[in-house]
Amino acid sequence: AILLRDSGESPSEIRAQLGEIMDNEVGLFRNQETLESSLKAIRFLKERFSKIALARSDSMFNYSLIRALELENTLDLAEVIAMTALMRRESRGAHWRTDFPERNDGSFLKHSLVTLVDDYLKTEYIDVNLGMFEVKERTY
Amino acid sequence: MLFRIARSRKGGGITHYDLYKVDSFKGMTVLDALFQIQDSMDESLSFRYSCRGAVCGSCAMLIDKVPRLACRTQVNTIKDSGVELRGPFSPIASVPLGWNSEEEILIEPLPNLRILKDLVVDMNAFYNALKIMELWVEPPDDEEPRLQKPEERKRIDRYVNCIMCALCYGSCPINERKKEYIGPAALAKAYRFYEDSRIDERNRFLNAAKAPNGAPLCELVMNCVRVCPKGVAPGGAIRKIKNL
């Protein structure tokens, strides 16, 4: 469908903006406010992506098409990353919530699982396989 | 910054060169520049890349007449990088009409391999050498790990670092003249197995390297050592093979 569209913006600006957002606001240090605004911005970029157009090119080694398809997948993953970071109101490993600096095993010793069901994202927490290592706070 | 880039829509040979004006920034690599061209000037430009950090070896190309990785070559260092290749052969020695070598960075496909499109080349001749020489080992499935002392590992360290980018293959005048020559990377890999203390049939690898299409064809030009981005120095291994 991307190849059939005659007019629309190019994906490169969307790619650059997504990079900025993910780098600056969905990186190591996160908080409710910026995650919410980032999630909104990512969803807006997804909207924009649905209207992009690519210049005519040969079908052989069409790397600009490959990069556009990669961006489509990257946008999906970015949305899921921001959603689950928002849900996880604790700090754990490389996920630092400045508004929830403590680790909370009671609520979040779980895997975040996101599944695409028809056209919405189903989110749930599933159990972690425990037993091999003792669960404890990491200190440095 | 101006880039003059070799084009070949249908593959086979370079048909023409296109000139692009790139907005350069501090630390910009040639790969960054190619992305900028594809993003905002010419979506039809084809080139291979993957890791962006000199690990995968996909973006090997001829940059200002020296085979280099686009991701590892900074735009502002190209004009005074001073890599001198020996034994000049056609793709390196011939200069496209109109190239202003002081103002423009020249980008061409890696020599000695067939062009498929623009900067994308057919790597089969390069990979086939591994098949021809059977450069692998097949230990039994149920085997325990074979241990190695650090000093034994040191002897193969250099060769293990090869990322199979084919820059050596594209820099070698013998590879240009003799299509049957298996090339520097494959010979370095054969030597890596020969020198590995964990290998039972070391001589199989030495014999493969000494075959008529292998080390005997090398004239120790050593371009492979000059262009290798990982310090593998295949020419050193070939010299050792010749002396064995």
ipTM of predicted assembly, 2 dp:
0.82
Residue A7 binned pLDDT confidence (cut-offs 50, 70, 90):
confident
Q: What single string gives the DSSP state of each residue in chain B? A: -EEEEEE-SSSBS--EEEEEE----TT-BHHHHHHHHHHHT-TT-----SSSSSSS---EEEETTEEEEGGG-BGGGGGG-----SS--HHHH---TT--TTTEEEEEPPTTS-EEETTEE--HHHHHHHHHHT-S----TTPPPPP--HHHHHHHHHHHT-----HHHHH-HHHHH-TT---HHHHHHHHHHHT-TT-S-HHHHHHHHHSTTSGGG-----HHHHH-TTS--HHHHHHHHHH-
Examine the pLDDT at A4 and tell me if it is beyond 80. no
Which chain B residues have a beta carbon less than 8 Å from that of A3? none
Examine the pLDDT at A127 and tell me if it is beyond 90. yes
Q: Are B71 and B51 in contact (CB under 8 A)?
A: yes
Interface test with A, best of B15, B35, B44 (most A CBs within 10 A): B44
Q: Sort residue B27 into left (φ over 0), alpha (ψ -120 to 50) or beta.
A: left
**Angstrom distance (rounded) from CA A49 to CA A15:** 9
pLDDT-above-70 percentage for chain A: 99
Residue B80 binned pLDDT confidence (cut-offs 50, 70, 90):
confident
The one-letter amino acid at A8: G
Examine the pLDDT at A140 and tell me if it is beyond 80. no
Q: Count of A–B CB contacts within 8 Å?
A: 33
**Chain B residues with a Cβ under 8 Å from any Cβ in chain A:** 9, 38-40, 43-47, 116-118, 120
Which chain A residues have a beta carbon less than 8 Å from that of B39? 10, 12, 15, 64
Q: Quick one: average pLDDT of A104-111?
A: 94
Are B43 and A12 in contact (CB < 8 Å)? no
Shortest CA distance from A12: residue in chain B? B39
Mean model confidence pLDDT for chain B = 95
Q: Does A61 touch chain B (CB under 8 A)?
A: yes
pTM, entire model: 0.90
Residue B82 binned pLDDT confidence (cut-offs 50, 70, 90):
confident
Of B74-83, B105-114, B129-138, least confident by mean pLDDT is: B74-83
Are B38 and A61 in contact (CB < 8 Å)? no
B202-223 pLDDT, tens digit per residue, is: 999 999 999 999 999 999 999 9
Are B120 and A61 in contact (CB < 8 Å)? yes
Predicted pLDDT of residue B114: 97
A42-65 pLDDT, tens digit per residue, is: 999 999 999 999 888 888 999 999
Q: Quick one: average pLDDT of B107-136?
A: 96
Helix (H) or strand (E) holding A112: strand A110-117
Examine the pLDDT at B235 and tell me if it is beyond 80. yes
- What one-character DSSP code corresponds to residue A3? G
Which chain B residues have a beta carbon less than 8 Å from that of A54? 43
> What are the two backbone dihedrals, phi and then psi, of residue B223, each rounded to the nearest 5 degrees?
-60, -35
Rounded (5°) CA angle B175-B94-B49: 60
Residue A135 binned pLDDT confidence (cut-offs 50, 70, 90):
confident
Q: Quick one: average pLDDT of B39-67?
A: 96
Which of B193-201's residues contact partners 24+ apart within 8 Å by CB, and which partners? B193/B135, B193/B137, B194/B241, B195/B155, B195/B156, B195/B159, B196/B148, B196/B156, B197/B148, B197/B149, B197/B152, B197/B155, B198/B146, B198/B147, B198/B148, B199/B137, B201/B137
- Give chain A's count of helices (H) and strands (E): 4, 4
Predicted pLDDT of residue A5: 82
Of A60-64, A81-85, B84-88, least confident by mean pLDDT is: B84-88
B74 pairs with which residues across the strands?
B29
Residue B16 binned pLDDT confidence (cut-offs 50, 70, 90):
very high
**Angstrom distance (rounded) from CA B59 to CA B53:** 10
Which is higher by pLDDT, B90 or B36? B36
